Amino acid sequence: MPARPRFAAFTDGSALVNPGGPGGTGFVVLDRGTMAIRFGGTRWVDDGPAGVTNNRMELRSVLDALQGIPGGEAVELTSDSRYVIDALTKWIAGWRRKGWRTSTGGPVLNRDLIEEIDARQAELRVRYSWVRGHVGHPVNEICDALASSAARRQPGPAAGDVVAALRAQGLLGASDAPHVAAAGWGPPRPAAAAPGRSQLSLDL
């Protein structure tokens, strides 16, 4: 893993009632290689038999962030969820050995999303970092705003807000002018919210 990976990803999730929802995901990804950003938030009012929970929204935001990143690329993904970091870096090996059972013998919650993320990260080189939430980390605050605004079905941060947060975090210089990329990191497209999959989606 290079000290400065090509992709820097930030994620957050929110459930207005936990469990029960509605909930939202928020993510920001910076591609240093092409000087591009991708960000968005998706509202969830239902998430299958498990329902909407804060942990499921946290995991889904990781899936959103990793979507479209080319195979083999290095990604540093920052989350304020200890559950996400520990599940994907510490607990998963033991869960597999025990047939996806916890230390008390019960089934592992959110196995579907954890396995989906694990399959995706197997195609990449992912390093996870934890940041404490709500302590003024600029990009984490933007992800929180994206997730909570999606959950509330309200407009969220725009491209200019994301760029300002990345600059405040020292990830962009004053003269850097990243374009907003499509999900597959293709050609530039206008920095405007677009309707997307299922519920309110601001994926750009």
**How do residues 135-182 score in pLDDT, each as one tens digit?**
999 999 999 999 999 999 999 999 999 999 999 999 999 999 999 986
- Could you read off the pLDDT of 51-97 as tens digits, one per residue? 999 999 999 999 999 999 999 999 999 999 999 999 999 999 999 99
Catalytic sites, residue numbers: 12-13, 58, 80, 134, 144
- Could you read off the pLDDT of 10-29 as tens digits, one per residue? 999 999 999 999 999 999 99
Stated pTM of the model:
0.90
Q: With b meaning 16 or more CB within 10 Å and e meaning fewer, what string describes 51-76?
A: bbbbbbbbbbbbebbbebbeeebbbb
Contact by Cβ (8 Å): 159, 29? no
In this prediction, residue 181 carries a pLDDT of: 86
Dist. CA 69–CA 74, nearest whole Å: 9
Q: What percent of the chain has pLDDT over 90?
A: 84
If pLDDT is split at 50, 70 and 90, which confidence band does 184 have?
A: low
**First CA to last CA distance, the chain:** 27
Dist. CA 122–CA 40, nearest whole Å: 23
Task: Flag whether pLDDT at 188 surpasses 70.
Answer: no
Task: Flag whether pLDDT at 189 surpasses 60.
Answer: no
Structure token pair of residue 16: 């207005």
Task: Flag whether pLDDT at 193 surpasses 50.
Answer: no
Q: Which of 169, 115, 104 is nearest to 140 (CA)?
A: 169
Contact by Cβ (8 Å): 37, 30? yes
Map out the domains of the chain with their CATH numbers: 7-180 (3.30.420.10)
**Rounded mean pLDDT, 114-127:** 97
In this prediction, residue 80 carries a pLDDT of: 98
**Rounded mean pLDDT, 35-63:** 96
Q: By mean pLDDT, which of 39-48, 95-104, 131-140, 177-186 is the weakest?
A: 177-186
